[in-house]
Amino acid sequence: MYQALFLVPAIPLAGFVALALLGRRLTERRAAAIGAGSIGASAVVAIILTVEFLVSPPAGGSYTQVLWTWFVVDGFAPQIGFYLDALSVVMMVVVTFVAFFIHLYSVEFMEGDDGYARFFAYMNLFVGSMIILVLANNLLFLFLGWEGVGLCSYLLIGFWYRDPVNGLAGRKAFIVTRVGDTAFTVGLLLLFWQLGTLNIQELMARAAVQWPMGAGVAIAAAALLLGGAVGKSAQLPLQTWLPDAMAGPTPTSALIHAATMVTAGVYLIARTHVLFVLAPPVQFAVAAIGAATLLLAGFSALTQDDIKRALAYSTISQIGYMFLGLGVGAWGAAIFHFYTHAFFKALLFLSAGIIINALHHEHNIFRMGGLRERLPVAYWTFLIGGSALAGLPLITSGFYSKDLILWHAWSSPIGSPGLWIAGNIGVLLTSLYTFRLIFIVFYGEAHTEVSKRPGLAMSIPVVVLSIFSIIAGFVNIPPSLGNFPFFTHFVQTAVPPAREISRGWLTESYSEVASGLLFIIGFYLAYLFYIRRPDWAAAFKANPAGNVLHRWWYADWGFDWMYDRVFVRPVLWFARIDRHDVFDSFYTGLTRAAQFAWFSLSELESGRIRWYAASIAVGTIVFVFIALMK
Whether 53 has a pLDDT exceeding 90, the answer reads yes
Whether 77 has a pLDDT exceeding 90, the answer reads no
Quote the CA–CA distance of 553 and 489 in Å, as a whole number.
Answer: 40
> Coil, strand or helix: which one is 138?
strand
Quote the CA–CA distance of 148 and 136 in Å, as a whole number.
Answer: 13
Burial class (CB in 10 A: 0-12, 13-18, 19+), 534: middle
For Cα atoms 446, 307, 177, give the angle at the middle one, nearest 5 degrees.
Answer: 170
In this prediction, residue 131 carries a pLDDT of: 97
- Name the residue among 490, 488, 469, 466 with its Cα closest to residue 478: 488
- Name the residue among 399, 395, 386 with its Cα closest to residue 441: 386
Whether 127 has a pLDDT exceeding 70, the answer reads yes
State the DSSP string of 504-525.
TT--HHHHHHHHHHHHHHHHHH
- CB-CB contact of 347 with 377 (8 Å): no
Q: Tell me which H or E stretch contains 91.
A: helix 86-109
Q: Mean pLDDT throughout 114-120?
A: 94
Question: End-to-end distance of the chain based on CA atoms, in angstroms?
Answer: 74
Tens of pLDDT, residues 203-218: 999 999 999 999 999 9
Cα–Cα distances (Å) from 470 to 110, 391, 394, 430, in that order, read 28, 10, 10, 17
Task: Count the alpha carbons within 13 Å of 256 in the hemisphere toward its beta carbon.
Answer: 34
Cα–Cα distances (Å) from 131 to 82, 140, 264, 586, in that order, read 10, 14, 10, 47
In this prediction, residue 605 carries a pLDDT of: 73
In this prediction, residue 102 carries a pLDDT of: 97
Quote the CA–CA distance of 424 and 373 in Å, as a whole number.
Answer: 33
Place 542 in a pLDDT band, splitting at 50, 70 and 90: confident
Quote the CA–CA distance of 189 and 192 in Å, as a whole number.
Answer: 5
Q: Mean pLDDT throughout 232-250?
A: 93
Tens of pLDDT, residues 480-519: 899 999 999 999 999 999 999 988 889 999 999 999 999 9
- CB-CB contact of 492 with 502 (8 Å): no
- Residues pairing with 76 in the sheet: 73
Q: Mean pLDDT throughout 411-432?
A: 96
Residue 435: partners with Cβ closer than 8 Å, 6 or more residues away: 386, 390, 522, 523, 526, 527, 530
Residue 66's CB is within 10 A of a number of other CB atoms, namely 13
Quote the CA–CA distance of 291 and 409 in Å, as a whole number.
Answer: 10
- CB-CB contact of 529 with 536 (8 Å): yes
Q: Mean pLDDT throughout 573-579?
A: 83
Place 630 in a pLDDT band, splitting at 50, 70 and 90: low
Quote the CA–CA distance of 527 and 531 in Å, as a whole number.
Answer: 5
What's the whole-number average pLDDT of the chain? Answer: 93
Q: Report how far Cα 374 is from the mean position of its chain's Cα atoms.
A: 32
H-only helix segments in 328-484: 331-358, 376-390, 397-411, 417-442, 456-471
Whether 35 has a pLDDT exceeding 70, the answer reads yes
Tens of pLDDT, residues 333-378: 999 999 999 999 999 999 999 999 999 899 999 999 999 999 999 9
Pairing of strands 63-69, 79-84: antiparallel
Rg (CA), the chain: 28
Whether 396 has a pLDDT exceeding 80, the answer reads yes
Q: What are the residue boundaries of the structural domains of the chain, listed by start? A: 1-207+250-263, 332-542, 580-629
- CB-CB contact of 255 with 155 (8 Å): no
Least confident of 56-60, 191-195, 607-611: 607-611
